[in-house]
Structure 1
């Protein structure tokens, strides 16, 4: 098969012919019809994920058709249209038994723990636990955005964030996850403030339901006061008359994390979605404010396969439109350059790779 491969972290990836995978007894091989290009893939390429061994094929958001099944798989057969969460659970650990497959103790992740979906085929573990059937009316390109960004945003806003109609919700970072969060929060009846430094990203946020937009680059210079994210937080307090009820860091940086926490009103809720890699493995968080205002600080890590039906029903009904988030479709040969560009120009919306085009 053809796949995107990198031999060294941070060095240019190439498209080459490699051996196609075979299914494990409990797994499947999926013919990849579409796969999303995500900032998490860029983090992996940069060496920020300790699970990656070289050489490596990235890619963790995918949709396609079951090509082959392992001998122990009972619920799937070749020809089934499927997608999968980026966290593939084992189905047998205490976390899985509690229904928390997104934090499985023995999880695997395509594109991280093993070769991923920037390829014509990908192997997936424990298929009967992890695969999600795709409605016929859902295109592969749209479905590819569900496995990480849209599903992650859905759980972050609805389950972890407990969004309620009429609340103020701030979304820091309007890439794929952030724009998904804007759409989901607005569809839930919340008043959304979108925060980014890109005019194009903020334009898309308005299109997807943001009531207000904040250009973080403009407010930081005038109101930064030497504190990361202080200008953004001040702008949100002014817009909301006291701060957001719920705030999400959908980008993942010390500045956006601090801005999210500092933008909350009393007893507000911060959800950390974006990855926060650092040399020390820790990120400064304004905990004094969390104590004084009794803030909730929560992480959100994907969404288990069994939780997909609620989201898919809203998509089927047209209440949620993940298809509108797909702003670019590229062939496999263009993926290495697009991956590298995410470090300096992440782009607006979701880019989908079609490995067979």
Structure 2
């Protein structure tokens, strides 16, 4: 099969011909029909993930068709249209038994702990736990776009953030994660403030439901601006970028007993960000991380999509071929543009 591969971190990936994968006893092989690319892939290529072993094939947002299944797989057969959470679970550990597959003790991630979906085929283990059936009327590009940023935002807003109608929600960073969060929080009935450095992304956030925007490049004090708009601070706030400044602003712009959810990855030199802990204590603030979403929780999200309350297809940006993926991956050093880029031609 054709695949995007890199042999050294930070050096240009190349299109290579590599052996086709085979399914494990509990796994499947999926013919990739679409795969998104996001900044997590860029972090992996740069060497920020210790689990990656070289040479490596990246890619973790995928949708496609099952073409082979292991002997112990009971729920899936060749021909079915599927997608996969970017955090795949073992289905057997204590966390999985409690329903928290997203923090599985033995989790694996295509594109990080194993070869990923920037390829014609990808193998996924423990298929009965990790696969999600796709609606027949959902195109593969939209399905692939759900796999990381959209589902992560859904869980961050709905499950971790516990957003309710009428609340103020601040979203710091309007890349794929942030724009997804704007759409989802708006669909939940919240008043959303979108915060970013570019007017282009902020204008798009308005189209997705944001009731107010803040350009952090021209606003001297983002925290003060949020508090003025909300008359006291956000009920829930999310750092969708993953930077010490956005993390601090997200916590600091909360009202008393507010809820901060960290979604943006804090890697490299940003791993240990400063937190205004005195305010966390005095205001009884809540700080949570959010790391993907379990396969069984997709049903709630898909129901909202079918009902028209969520329209993830609006977040699709450019569609490219596999041969364009190496350049697109390297270009993410300058951050992503508007929307979610997806490989749709193999």
- Structure 1 residue ranges, 4+ long, deviating more than 3 angstroms after superposition: none
Aligned length: 346
Counterpart residue number, 1:81: 81
Counterpart residue number, 2:45: 45
1:105 aligns to what SS in structure 2? coil
Whether the 8 Å contact between 2:170 and 2:193 is mirrored in structure 1 is: yes
Whether the 8 Å contact between 1:102 and 1:302 is mirrored in structure 2 is: yes
Alignment of 1:224-239 (within 5 A): 231-239=221-229
Alignment of 1:142-157 (within 5 A): 142-157=142-157
Counterpart residue number, 1:69: 69
Residue-by-residue CA offset, 1:286-312 (whole Å, 9 max, x unaligned): 111111111000000000001110100
Counterpart residue number, 2:255: 265
* Cα separation, 2, equivalents of 1:285 and 1:31: 44
* Cα separation, 1, equivalents of 2:264 and 2:271: 14
Whether the 8 Å contact between 2:39 and 2:335 is mirrored in structure 1 is: no
Counterpart residue number, 1:3: 3
> 1:280 Cα deviation (Å)?
7.5
Q: TM-score, normalised by structure 1?
A: 0.95
1:342 aligns to what SS in structure 2? helix
For structure 2, the residue ranges without an aligned partner over 5 or more in a row are none
Whether the 8 Å contact between 1:155 and 1:303 is mirrored in structure 2 is: yes
Residue-by-residue CA offset, 1:78-130 (whole Å, 9 max, x unaligned): 00000010011000000000000000000110000000001110010100000
Counterpart residue number, 2:217: 217
> 1:217 Cα deviation (Å)?
0.8
Alignment of 1:5-44 (within 5 A): 5-44=5-44
* Cα separation, 2, equivalents of 1:188 and 1:280: 31
Pick from 296, 300, 312 the counterpart of residue 322 of structure 1: 312
Whether the 8 Å contact between 1:194 and 1:202 is mirrored in structure 2 is: yes
Residue-by-residue CA offset, 1:243-298 (whole Å, 9 max, x unaligned): 10000001101111011001111110000001001347422111111111110000
Q: Is structure 2 residue 125 aligned with structure 1 residue 125?
A: yes
> 1:72 Cα deviation (Å)?
0.8
Q: CA RMSD in A?
A: 0.9
Counterpart residue number, 1:312: 302
> 1:232 Cα deviation (Å)?
1.3
Whether the 8 Å contact between 1:32 and 1:355 is mirrored in structure 2 is: no
> 1:345 Cα deviation (Å)?
3.5
Whether the 8 Å contact between 1:119 and 1:355 is mirrored in structure 2 is: no
Q: Which moved more, 1:280-289 or 1:321-330?
A: 280-289
Whether the 8 Å contact between 1:69 and 1:77 is mirrored in structure 2 is: yes
1:108 aligns to what SS in structure 2? coil
Pick from 247, 256, 265 the counterpart of residue 275 of structure 1: 265
The alpha-carbon distance between structure 1 residues 167 and 285, as it changes in their structure 2 partners (threshold 3 A), is same
Counterpart residue number, 1:226: none
1:271 aligns to what SS in structure 2? strand
Pick from 239, 250, 255 the counterpart of residue 245 of structure 2: 255
For structure 1, the residue ranges without an aligned partner over 5 or more in a row are 224-230
Counterpart residue number, 2:340: 350
* Cα separation, 1, equivalents of 2:42 and 2:225: 30
Counterpart residue number, 1:228: none
The alpha-carbon distance between structure 1 residues 45 and 143, as it changes in their structure 2 partners (threshold 3 A), is same
Q: TM-score, normalised by structure 2?
A: 0.98
Q: Is structure 2 residue 230 aligned with structure 1 residue 240?
A: yes
* Cα separation, 2, equivalents of 1:177 and 1:345: 13
Counterpart residue number, 2:103: 103
The alpha-carbon distance between structure 1 residues 129 and 321, as it changes in their structure 2 partners (threshold 3 A), is same
